[in-house]
Structure 1
């Protein structure tokens, strides 16, 4: 796989449509784009994925949003991105990588468990408090946010 990962260039715009696939709140996306660092994953100069990193504190780096273009899903790009994020986070002195997802995201939770992330905490009512519209996933409304972390 010829995957190139790098920070969003100063002249590049964040691929909002791709970020929006992973987080349906433009307001939330804009907040963490402002506070964090946006990265693009490209193959042959084509954007195939995007993610945003933001430190929570001196020990924790959080992967705020990760999204892969539909036609490239299931090809190991997400796994390569997470390995890249773990490597650079460790090099920058962080001890943990944190990911958060909806309580309705069973497949995503299983994926992170497979990547050796452990359950960290649950933010009760997160999606009711911070999102104006209900988020429906797998036929259920997302209510709680599940945080998971992995030691680097």
Structure 2
């Protein structure tokens, strides 16, 4: 069964926390974003938020797939959907930020056409009150990625 992706006004809070452990960070952008969910039947299996950040620029934030559904191509479909949606909405650039220890996420984004364009040094140690560990490594830096949509 293939996932269908559609817009919703009700983000799945568990997925928001899976994607971003900072309630303050989520509270900052969730109300300014458009949420898209992937569903199989009536079950939400993944989601992402699209945030208009600057003229002609959107940011893909809080992409997450429920752990039981990971490794089945849902993340790739969500990223592809985000790219198409941003392009169709008139954006010329899609950006995102992810943790430097998120090797799998970085590889996924690269496979979908995004490229690393910079590092925000010590982002996670400056803005997150509790250390976050991923793949056995404490997150420190935010890897900034981008795809041009023109």
TM-score, with length taken from structure 1: 0.91
Q: Are the aligned partners of 2:100 and 2:142 in contact in 1 as well (CA < 8 Å)?
A: yes
- Which ranges of structure 1 fall in alignment gaps of 5 or more residues? none
- Which ranges of structure 2 fall in alignment gaps of 5 or more residues? none
How many residues align? The count is: 149
Q: Which position in structure 1 is the counterpart of 2:4?
A: 4
The 5 A counterparts of 1:39-118 are 39-118=36-115
Q: Which position in structure 2 is the counterpart of 1:35?
A: 32
SS in 1 for 2:52: strand
Q: Are the aligned partners of 2:79 and 2:109 in contact in 1 as well (CA < 8 Å)?
A: no
Q: Which position in structure 2 is the counterpart of 1:124?
A: 121
Q: Tell me the distance in 1 between the aligned counterparts of 2:47 and 2:113.
A: 22
C-alpha deviation, 1:97, in angstroms = 1.3
Q: Tell me the distance in 1 between the aligned counterparts of 2:49 and 2:15.
A: 12
SS in 2 for 1:133: coil
Q: Is 1:139 aligned to residue 136 of structure 2? A: yes
C-alpha deviation, 1:148, in angstroms = 0.5
Q: Tell me the distance in 1 between the aligned counterparts of 2:131 and 2:146.
A: 26
Task: Pick the aligned partner of 1:21 from 10, 18, 23.
Answer: 18
Deviation by residue 1:54-76 (Cα, 9 ceiling, x = unmatched):
01212221111111111211111
C-alpha deviation, 1:38, in angstroms = 1.7
What RMSD, in angstroms, separates the aligned Cα atoms of the two structures? 1.4
